[in-house]
Structure formats: C-alpha cells, structure tokens
Amino acid sequence: MSLGKEKAKQYLEANEQAIKNIEKIIQEEQIECEFQKKEAYVFTQKQEEIQKIKKEVEVVKSLGFPAEFVENTELPLKTLGAIKFPNQAQFNPCKYVQGLIEAMPNVEIYENTKVIDVKQSKNQTEYEIITENQNKINAKYVVIATHYPIINIPGYYFLKMYQSLSYVIGAETTKQELNGMYINSEEPTISLRTTSLENGKTLLIIAGMDHKTGEKKDLSQKYEELIKIAKQIDPNCEIKYKWCTEDCISLDKIPYIGEFSNLMPNVYVGTGYKKWGMTSSNVAANIIANKILGKQNEYEEVFTSTRLKPIKNHQEMGNMIKEVVKSLVIEKLKVPQETIENIKTGEAKIIEIDSKKLGVYKDEKGKLYAVKPVCSHLGCELSWNNLEKTWDCPCHGSRFTYEGKSIYDPSIYDLEIIELE
C-alpha cells in the first residue's frame, strides 16, 4: 500500500488475473502439471502479529478482494491466527514449463547458449545479441529475462535490486495432503505446501530461512531449521530433497516489468519477482507481449521498470550503498588475519599471500582450491557460504563455485583461478 490504493489494487488484480491466465493455458493446452485450486493462508505464531494481519484483511477487502481472518487452520503447527485467501492455485512449475514448450512445436529454444552482451547494431534499427563464443544474433526486439539483468549500463538495475537466498526441503510423509498453502507473516519466513507422490505418499515442501545473499553468517543450520519443522509435523518423515534458490528483490518490492531503459528502445525486461515468480512471470509475459504488439496493458503502470520510486526509498537505498561501500572498499582494505594452515577440511577462508588476497577452500580430501575473491560483476569482495560451499557476492548476489565458476547472475564471467605452489 506504500504506492497508494490504486496501485495496490492494480498489483493484486494483475496477480489474480495471472492465476486465471495460467489455468486457461493449462486447460487449453492440456498440460498435466498437478494444477489445483487451493486456499492460501498467511499465518502467525506470534501474538504481536495478530493486529497486523487483521489489518491486512481489512486492506484486502477494501480493494474489493475476498479475505478472511481465521483463528484455526488445518496446519499441524501451533498458529494463533491467519488470513485466508480463497481461489489461489498450486501447480508443478517444471511440468508447466515443459508443457509450454511442447505447446510451441515451431519455436526453437537454445539452451546452454550464454549471452554476454546486447548492443545496438550499426544501422541502429536492430540489436546484436552476443554470445559467449562471440556468435551474434540479430533481433529487432529483445527481452532480457536473465533473472538479474546482465547489462549494467544503461538500465542501472544494480543500483536498485539485490538478491535473497532461501532454502527448501522436500519430506516424504504418510500424512494427508494439506488443503491449503501456508506462509507465515513473521521472520524468519517459512512456507509450507504438499503434493501427492506416485507411491501414494505425500511430499511436504517447506521453504524459507531466507537472507540477503553474501551475508557473512554461519549458514550451516539453514536446512536443519526446516527439518525441525518437518519433524514437528511428522516425526517419521523422510527428508528426500534439499535445495536453495535465489531471488531478485527490487528496492520497493515490486517487479520491474517493461522497457529495459529509455536509452534502449525495443529492449524489455522482467525481473525483481521477489519470490513470487509463478504469477509475476505471467504478468511480465503479457505486459511485454503487449508492448511489442503496440497494445496497452491495464496493469503495466504499477510495474514500470524505469520508475524512480525505488531509488527514492532512502532506507533500502542506504542499505544497498552501505553494502557496496563495505564490500567494494572497506573489506578490500582489510588485511586477512587467517593463514592457509588454519583452513580446516570443508572450510574456506580469505588469506593473503605476497600481498595478494586469495579465497582458499580445502575439500574433504585436503585439496586446496584458490580463487581471487573479487566478484566478476562489479568487483565487490566475496563472502564464503559455508552451507552451499560457494563464494557469494553481498552487493548484487552473484555466486561462484569454490572452483570459481559463475553459477548465478548478474556475473557472467568466472573468477580468476590462482595456482597455489
């Protein structure tokens, strides 16, 4: 609501419409992706949150959407109250995307073809999309859907977006499926949902424990925290899957959808979905398709990607600048106190040898891997993620394996490898 009632309504309507669009596509294309209409709940386990969520119910109702405060839910965890949103949906996004691909037999999709730049062609009527191997693709229209945009200037998304990591587990249980989908209103965030498995059991999916990428923290217990919740629900459940995921967050928490920059006509962007990508991506697809076809989209205004509002959010902007200054200047000036002998197996540290900083990881067999711990995006000093064994960037969330391979944008290049004698 920080943008006013009209924009809040537009945002809500766009997401509600996206659910209908997705349902329609699934029906028309007969995509088997376990689509189910379900209720969604925002619950709390804290007394002090109750007033906040009751207020949210009133706000949602004032925007003309149904919502209800309920004291009890089916969730087998202690809850003090929840907002109930009817008519939401759950589906398997991988199966959905596979279905979309099969529904477009004449469209060619190239995987593992890394784009490193988009430049205006000499005649200025087209763009050259340049791949890692220096191949060029000419296009009149370009949609930058690379998660975090890989082009820094123009666009300047690195000034108005950061990334957040969250963790997910999948636990097999004999308990019944939940009728609803659940997310809590407090920190740390936890969201829960279930789906049925072919073996007749239920998969309980719990996600959350998010934090800004690159935070210098002990992350080793992130999955354990989620497992504790799964065990509260079913002490006999079996943890089958664990993974982490990264999301782009805009400074005003609204996605950037539309023109990439006023200086690059016919180039569009969809990013900053804030962990709400299933509907946001559909909103983006419709807005961008309309723009290319020269049509107005009724929801485009709230998502305008060239808006200045996010950088006027002084608090968030201040936090980002602080982080960049810290990682780009202060951390780089610090002289590491650690030595290579102090690195235990399975650990990494930033050390200094011959006045050069190195990020060194020692694997379980004692083998050392050294990289220059400087992000290949804009040069911030990297932090070690002791859970995923990656070098993560606190500035905009690029991530690299301990061998220096770039695995998450906005970086497109690997880290410099240092040979240890």
Phi and psi of 101, rounded to 5°? -65, -45
Binding site for ligand FES (CB under 6 A): 158, 375, 377-380, 393, 395-398, 410-411
CB of 268 vs ligand FES, minimal distance in Å = 22
Cα 80 to Cα 329: distance, rounded to the nearest angstrom: 46
Task: Report in angstroms how near the CB of residue 378 gets to ligand FES at its nearest.
Answer: 4
| Integer Rg of the chain from CA | 23
Looking at beta carbons only, is 38 or 396 nearer to ligand FES?
A: 396
326 vs 389 by CB, closer to ligand FES: 326
Which residues are CB-contacts of 233 (< 8 A; sequence separation ≥ 6)?
76, 77, 173, 175, 204
Residue whose C-alpha is closest to residue 324's, from 419, 223, 393, 276: 393
Residue 129 or 375 having the CB closest to ligand FES:
375
For residue 253, the minimal CB distance to ligand FES (Å) is: 20
Nearer to ligand FES, 66 or 379 (CB): 379
CB of 376 to ligand FES, least distance (A): 8
State in angstroms the smallest separation of the CB of 340 from ligand FES: 25
Q: Label residue 79 left, alpha or beta by phi (over 0 means left) and psi (-120 to 50 means alpha).
A: beta
Residue 328 CB, shortest distance to ligand FES, in Å, is 7
- CB of residue 298 vs ligand FES: minimum separation in angstroms? 35
Q: How far apart are CA 107 and CA 399, in angstroms?
A: 31
> Does residue 353 contact residue 400 with C-beta atoms inside 8 Å?
no
Minimum Å gap between C-beta 209 and ligand FES is: 22
Question: Smallest gap, in angstroms, from Cβ of residue 159 to ligand FES?
Answer: 11
Nearer to ligand FES, 371 or 380 (CB): 380
Nearer to ligand FES, 11 or 158 (CB): 158
> In whole angstroms, how close is the CB of 416 to ligand FES at the nearest point?
14
Q: Kindly tell me which of 26 and 375 has the beta carbon lying closer to ligand FES.
A: 375
The residue among 194 and 327 lying less far from ligand FES, judged by its C-beta, is 327
Nearer to ligand FES, 85 or 273 (CB): 273
3-class secondary structure for the chain? Answer: CCCCHHHHHHHHHHHHHHHHHHHHHHHHCCCCCCCEEEEEEEEECCHHHHHHHHHHHHHHHHCCCCCEEECCCCCCCCCCEEEEEEEEEECCHHHHHHHHHHCCCCCCCCCCCCEEEEEECCCCCCEEEEECCCCEEEECCEEECCCCCCCCCCCCHHHCEEEEEEEEEEEEECCCCCCEEEEECCCCCEEEEEEECCCCCEEEEEEEEEEECCCCCCCCCHHHHHHHHHHHHCCCCEEEEEEEEEEEEECCCCCEEEECCCCCCCEEEEECCCCCHHHHHHHHHHHHHHHHCCCCCCCHHHHECCCCHHHHCHHHHHHHHHHHHHHHHHHHHCCCCCCHHHCCCCEEEEEEECCEEEEEEECCCCCEEEECCECCCCCCECEEECCCCEEECCCCCCEEECCCCEEECCCCCCCCEECCC
Residue 165: CB minimum distance to ligand FES, A: 13
Please state, in angstroms and rounded to a whole number, the distance separating the CA atoms of residues 361 and 349.
Answer: 7
**Which is closer to ligand FES, CB of 359 or CB of 410?**
410
- Which CB atom, from 170 or from 394, has the smaller least distance to ligand FES? 394
